[in-house]
Structure 1
Amino acid sequence: MEIAAAAALGKFIGAGLACIGMGGSAMGVGNVAGNFLAGALRNPSAAAGQTATLFIGIAFA
């Protein structure tokens, strides 16, 4: 295998692994938002006070 071909192959493998990582973080953000909505539906009066916590949780996910 030529060096240029191996370098191109490494780039594609790295991009694929990065996409897998993005999928994992997307599932984490969905989990955070879904749990917030479940809690907001249980107790709508407390939902307004938890919105800032939701955004902090999404930022860290």
Structure 2
Amino acid sequence: MFLYKIEIELEEQTAHLIILADTDEKAFSVVESHVARHFVKMPVVKSAAIVEKKRPENGAGYFVV
């Protein structure tokens, strides 16, 4: 398992998704479903990229501004 910070470029903004997944592929496979849950109207996802990848351990996390 890994803790991923994924940067998602939408048409009008940039968002960050922090997700726990077994592989890079599994992390990317849930990006659109999380975006759809957050917005009333589904925005166009231009790109998604892994910015950081860490092993989960006590105290692991990301600071998102």
Q: Do Structure 1 and Structure 2 share a fold, with TM-score over 0.5?
A: no
Give TM-score scaled by structure 1 length: 0.28
**Higher relative CO (CA 8 A, sep ≥ 6), structure 1 or 2?**
2
Give TM-score scaled by structure 2 length: 0.27
Q: Which has the higher strand share?
A: 2
Give the greater-gyration-radius structure (CA).
1
